[in-house]
A and B are shown apart, each in its own frame.
Chain A
């Protein structure tokens, strides 16, 4: 009895765990990888796993897609899955592609300005720029020379 309950629990929650693992893979790419394009791809992965989490919450056993027959003769015995998460995620997908596009164009500008899309190189270049600024204007600003 206890074993079957545990089994049911594990099967019923395996979807959440799978999506958590995918989410964390995406987060790892965002945090640990220095390449900006790869960071965006990781962010997309993270996003998609959040979508999957939401959609899996709207799923009902034995249910079907929330689309009625065209003649609108609705059979009360048919179970439909929850349409609300679908709507929210449709909106989220479109907003996600908008942010992706914006991020990628920012990357192109960064590449133009610094000649690289690696985070480490950008940090180095920024430090050099800041040092030059200090040298040029530091005295006028009343600080370092």
Chain B
């Protein structure tokens, strides 16, 4: 289903449908996260991926255009690049441990340690919360800094928008007034 949604996103030209389908894609991936026992990630993905980012894309569409133009160049070169990259990625997975195996390298390093020490040191039932806020608190602080920077960037980029719009409108009004004045003058003479 994820693959079908992804292919539909590739094919569709209507950007409104693309925005909606990307929300669907996020929701489906959230379901997959639940199936893989990652509930915290699932609800973040559902809220952020399916909620906020769809709203942001729709807002952008409202301010820009809604239909994509057909591609002007041939898709052969991108397809070639994509297939080569995909083949390399799949070749890389051949050495990976089987899905769900408990003796994978990712399971044997720090993860059991976190699981063992969280009840003693942090005393929070949710281990993900404990790691996020305590063991890896610096990561979270860095994340906040990134979000803050991005927020400032968005504000700076968008701040002049309304003012410039109003300027444009004023110009239009002036032009209208001129046109009207010309008509009236034309009427008098």
Contacts and interface: CB of A to CB of B under 8 A. Distances in A.
A13 B107 CA distance: 17
Interface string B43-67: 0110011001100110111011100
A87 B106 contact: no
A138 interface: no
A87 B142 CA distance: 14
Interface string A64-84: 111111101010000111111
Task: Tell which of B36, B82, B93, B123 has the most Cβ of chain A within 10 Å.
Answer: B36
A55 B41 contact: yes
Contacts of A41: 9, 18-19, 22, 57
Q: Looking at chain B's contact residues, is the secondary structure mostly helix, strand, loop, or mixed? A: helix
B148 to A, nearest CB: 9
A35 B69 contact: yes
Task: Tell which of A48, A85, A99, A118 has the most Cβ of chain B within 10 Å.
Answer: A48
Contacts of B38: 55, 58, 65, 81, 85-86, 89
Q: Looking at chain A's contact residues, is the secondary structure mostly helix, strand, loop, or mixed? A: helix
A39 to B, nearest CB: 10
Contacts of A140: none
Interface string A4-35: 00001101111111101111111111011111
B37 A25 contact: no
A136 interface: no
Interface residues of A, number: 89
A25 B99 contact: no
Contacts of A93: 41, 44-45, 48-49
Contact of B60 (A57, A79, A107): A107
Contacts of A45: 6, 9, 22, 25
B154 A101 contact: yes
27 contacts: A16-B90, A18-B2, A21-B86, A23-B89, A31-B78, A37-B57, A37-B64, A44-B22, A45-B9, A55-B32, A61-B100, A63-B100, A66-B126, A74-B119, A82-B106, A87-B128, A88-B139, A93-B41, A95-B146, A95-B147, A100-B53, A105-B153, A109-B158, A111-B64, A112-B164, A117-B64, A118-B68
Interface of A: 8-9, 11-18, 20-29, 31-35, 37-38, 40-42, 44-45, 48-49, 51-52, 55-61, 63-70, 72, 74, 79-91, 93-102, 104-109, 111-112, 116-118, 120-121
